[in-house]
Structure 1
Amino acid sequence: MAHVEEYVEVNVPVRTAYNQWTQFESFPAFVEGVDRVEQRGDTLTHWVTKVNGVEREFDARITEQVPDRRVAWTTVDGDTRQAGLVTFEAVDATTTQVSLHMNWIPDGLAESAADKLGLVKRRVSGDLKRFKVFIESRGAETGAWRGEV
């Protein structure tokens, strides 16, 4: 099993960062390789990704969601096996640390090599940096889901 942990500080309050993160359908704007995300219910999302020419589809279930604190997920169906957790912590009133922890099972030699070479870590780091640019440039979230799971 492979694992990555990355974080970024964003210059928006916790509530704004968290609210934006719950808008999964906006992920293609800042997550490299994500073509489409469909919210199919309060806890179920459907993902279409394309990385290095390989297209995958999978469903992910939100396993825990606490407003302004955390969102955890695991895949339940499809081509990808992963689980993760993103947490939100106030640095001060206008700055939030967003931390991402993800475990996955690499599919084949190419994915195993990409993990060992640090390519996945760099991609996740880049995704978080693009999230920072996305939310800071807007200054406000595109929506919010404040439910608890």
Structure 2
Amino acid sequence: MTRKVEKSIDVDVPVTTAYNQWTQFEEFPRFMGGVREVRQLDDRRTHWIAEIAGVQREWDATIVEQVPDRTVAWAATDGTTNAGTVRFAPLDTERTQVHLLLEYEPEGLVEQAGERLHLVDRQAESDLARFKEYIEGRQVESGGWRGTIAPDRLPSEEADLPDPAARHRADTDEEPPPPETEPEEATARIPASRDAVGPR
């Protein structure tokens, strides 16, 4: 059965700084207690080694949605069942709310016992607190990935969407404008700062 954990924290840095730092996946072990290693395989794929409820797990994950200064979402593709979404909301020009949603499925007796003790819940809260301490201590991101990844749309979702051309014809006799096209994925990295730490 899939479990969900949601936690939020306010950090005293601009939204761009908080977002950029979160895209530096290889630095996650610096503030995530259960994460042993993250390797960036390419712009969308990462390899994780982590301890979940006392059990070491290893898996690959794919970024399924990414919107600069707003959202980073990922899902495991093998090795374990988990997914997560982080949303960033500016509170003002110098403060940001970071909201974390984790979805996972406990595997085995040890993880199920850890679930009863709310170990993942506590770990998520602790990780956000360490992220706050980490980024506020630096006051500048160590790098950032500013690309956009659109979420894959399910066929059923496509069927439910209204036809913009039909809607236009209902409102006016004019021909509908040509549809706007956006690239599904745009790559735009910003360089790491000179005082960057950890491998890139």
TM range (shorter): over 0.9
Aligned AA for 1:60?
A
Query: Please, what TM-score do these two structures have when normalized by structure 1?
Result: 0.95
**Aligned position for 2:92:** 92
Write out per-residue CA displacement over residues 57-106 of structure 1, whole angstroms, 9 at most, x where no aligned residue: 1001000000000011100012x210111000001110000000011110
The residue that corresponds to 1:135 in the other structure is 135
CA RMSD of aligned residues (A): 1.2
The reply to whether residue 13 of structure 1 matches residue 8 of structure 2 is no
Question: What SS is found at the alignment partner of 1:124?
Answer: helix
* Residues 127, 15 of structure 1: alpha-carbon distance in 2 compared, 3 angstrom cutoff: same
User: 1:59-138, aligned counterparts within 5 Å?
Assistant: 59-78=60-79, 80-138=80-138
Q: Which aligned pairs between 1:35-74 and structure 2 lie closer than 5 A?
A: 35-51=36-52, 54-74=55-75
TM-score scaled to structure 2, two decimals?
Answer: 0.71
Deviation per CA, 1:12-62: give whole Å up to 9, x if none: 000000000000000000001211101101110001113565322100100
2:3 equivalent in structure 1: 2
Gaps of 5+ in 1: none
Q: Which has the higher contact order (CA 8 A, sep 6+)?
A: 1
Q: Which amino acid aligns with 2:134?
A: F
Identity level (%): 52
Q: Is the radius of gyration larger for structure 1 or structure 2? A: 2
The code of the aligned residue for 1:133 comes to: E
Which structure has greater strand proportion?
A: 1
Give distance in 1, aligned partners of 2:122 and 2:51. 17
